[in-house]
Amino acid sequence: MASSWCSPLPGRLPLLLLLLQSPSSHAGQFRVLGPERPVRALAGRPAELPCRLAPARNASGMEVGWARPPDRMVHLFRGGRDRPEEQAPEFRGRTELLPGGLAEGRAALRIRRVRPSDAGGYTCFFRDHAQHEEAALELQVEDPFHWVGPGALAGLAVLPLLLLQLAAGLLFLVLQRRLRGKLRAEIESLHRTFDPHFLRVPCWKVTLFVAVPVLGPLAALVVCYNWLHRRLAGQFLEELRNPF
């Protein structure tokens, strides 16, 4: 019986060695997981693109990055520091790797001042020596003022003036109505107290009132002309009588 138990052992030895080595061979394997839903952000506000390792492990010594297809580098962390020289120009100065998560296998990229052109697909990747794993992310940028074009801006600039003119017109109408009511009341009061015989003025008074301002200066001019004419004529006759 002992011989029958020990006889298959040499044939099973490679299988046992394989089973013993398999955990160690897969101990360094990992996967990268991203958010299940698209990341949504408002234009002009920051957006965060998270991803993590599964199973969780320290990723401080790994190369971590975010890229946009086909080959636009958004942010790269390598050798324990950020590599801004590797970034695409449109993302330079607008991204930062949030600290404190790499030790737990988590990474999050913050994009400041998100633009509508930032919307689309992204790739988050971890690289550890020969192993490279990545996960896909999607960023949706919502612009509440996407309808504001040159025409809309012109309309917004003219709208306050139109409202001001409308308010001034309404105020004028209200004041005109109130003043008209007061004027009507005063006219009615004047009609009740007015004596129509007051306007019955004699015709000679009216004629005198009109003629004096017109004929007075004319009469003064005629008198002055006659006086000057007589004086000059007298001097001329005096010179004729006494030539020397």
Residue (of 44, 43, 87, 85) closest to 65 by Cα position: 87
Q: Where are the domains of the chain?
A: 31-142, 150-192+203-241
At residue 58, the pLDDT reads 93
Q: What is the DSSP letter of 132?
A: E
pLDDT in tens, 127-140: 998 899 999 999 99
pLDDT at 167 over 60: yes
At residue 217, the pLDDT reads 77
d(CA 189, CA 106): 90
Q: What is the DSSP letter of 22?
A: H
Task: Judge contact between 131 and 27, C-beta under 8 A.
Answer: no
pLDDT in tens, 38-79: 999 999 999 999 999 999 999 999 999 999 988 899 999 999
d(CA 78, CA 171): 69
Give percent above pLDDT 70 in the chain. Answer: 70
Angle, CA of 37, 113 and 49, to the nearest 5°: 30
Per-position DSSP letters for 69-111, written without gaps between them: TTTEEEEEEETTEE-GGGS-GGGTTSEEEPTT-GGGTEEEEEE
pLDDT in tens, 185-204: 777 776 666 555 555 656 76
What is the average per-residue pLDDT within 163-169? 80
CATH code that applies to domain 31-142: 2.60.40.10
Spacing of C-alpha 58 from chain mean position: 44
For residue 90 the two structure tokens come to 């449109």
142-149 contacts, C-beta under 8 A, 24 or more apart: 142/40, 142/41, 142/42, 142/43, 143/42, 143/43, 143/116, 144/42, 144/43, 145/43, 146/116
pTM score: 0.52
Give 232's pLDDT tier (boundaries 50, 70, 90): confident
- Residue 116, CB-side half-sphere exposure with 13 Å CA sphere: 6
Backbone angles phi, psi at 92, to 5 degrees: -65, 125
At residue 7, the pLDDT reads 43
* Amino acid, res. 218: L
